[in-house]
Amino acid sequence: ERLDTIDGRVYFKGDESAVARCNIQFRCAEKLYIVLDEFNAVSFDELFEKTKSIPWEKYIGKNDSFPVAGHSIKSKLFSVPDCQRIIKKAIVERLFNAYKTDALPETETRVGIEFFILRDKAAVMINTSGESLYKRGWRKATGDAPMRETLAASLALMARVSHENVFYDPMCGSGTIAIEAAMILKNLAPGANRTFAAEGFRFLPRHIFEDARREAREQISGESFEVWASDVDEKMIRIARENAKNAGVLENIRFFTRDVSDIDTEGRRGTLVCNPPYGERLMDVKSAEALYRIMGKAFERLGSWKYYVFTSSEYFEKHFGKKADNTRKMYNGMLRCFYYQYYKKK
């Protein structure tokens, strides 16, 4: 049940099984946290005492490690290193008292603690994911400017990928967008083949991850669909094929070498999603703009296809030669980008 949404964060509640099910099933989230407490904190004393009042012994064993990280935005307690130090000290004192000890070796299970202070309201959390959820485990090789899997999945979802029409990325690089689209259509859980920090937490039942993985396997769809992926670089196609094999969708994606200027629908109907060079990490700006002009002419052959272009260029439409039906502002890491959306003709 969703409780609240702010920039970059969604708060919701669920039972213990949600820790496993969400880590395994989430396609677009970066990490999953358990919020232990939220409180106002305008002084370090307040931060210390309220953090210390949390029953940390329920979550952290006597020998467990508990590194502290976090962020502070528009708050009086703006120094992140100082907040880390205060929160760590509060947890240590609580555990000293709980375990009747004056030493915490921190040699066993890692329980990552994170704080988020926004406008003087602090949330103290446990990181259940460990490494970010975009690390699915299938991408062994990439090109020079790889897109995160979580972002690729969000682009495919916003394009309303479906079983009825072809999904095509004509500038696929290492295949991330096409692979994530195929995983959505096949209903493959993105986290089914990786591990998570919470699997070692003593306060969670061990069976919840076994149950969640079994549930994910049972939900895999056998419905047919078509995903195409092409690139001008034959080396990148080889890399993309290997990544698709690792992800379990090689047989579901048609890979081929083709320049975007030679784009061809082959008489089919479909949806195209691509992430051309921005002129940031690949190409220079002038070369990227020249490519957008080539794309504009080539995409005229798409007819009734829907197509979506993700780029950091504010002037893409000018060079492409056509105004988008809708534009979504998004971020690729810290880089502001735009998702230009062109819908099929009536």
Note the pTM of the prediction, 2 decimals.
Answer: 0.92
177-195 pLDDT, tens digit per residue, is: 999 999 999 999 999 999 9
259-303 pLDDT, tens digit per residue, is: 999 999 999 999 999 999 865 455 678 888 999 999 999 999 999
Summarize the confidence of residues 233-255 as an average pLDDT.
96
pLDDT exceeds cutoff 80 at 143: no
Environment class of residue 137 by beta-carbon count within 10 Å: exposed (0-12), middle (13-18) or buried (19+)?
middle
pLDDT exceeds cutoff 70 at 212: yes
Query: DSSP character for 65?
Result: B
pLDDT at 71: 96
14-28 pLDDT, tens digit per residue, is: 999 999 999 999 999
Of the listed ranges 56-65, 109-118, 141-150, 228-237, the one predicted with least confidence: 141-150
Which string of DSSP letters, residue by residue, matches 265-329?
-TT--EEEEE----SSSSS-HHHHHHHHHHHHHHGGGGTT-EEEEEES-TTHHHHHTS--SEEEE
Give the DSSP H or E segment for 38.
strand 33-40
95-130 pLDDT, tens digit per residue, is: 999 999 999 999 999 999 999 999 999 999 999 999
Distances (CA, A) of 126 to 11, 23, 95, 111, 217: 14, 13, 16, 7, 27
Taking alpha carbons only, the member of 311, 343, 305 closest to residue 325 is: 343
pLDDT at 235: 94
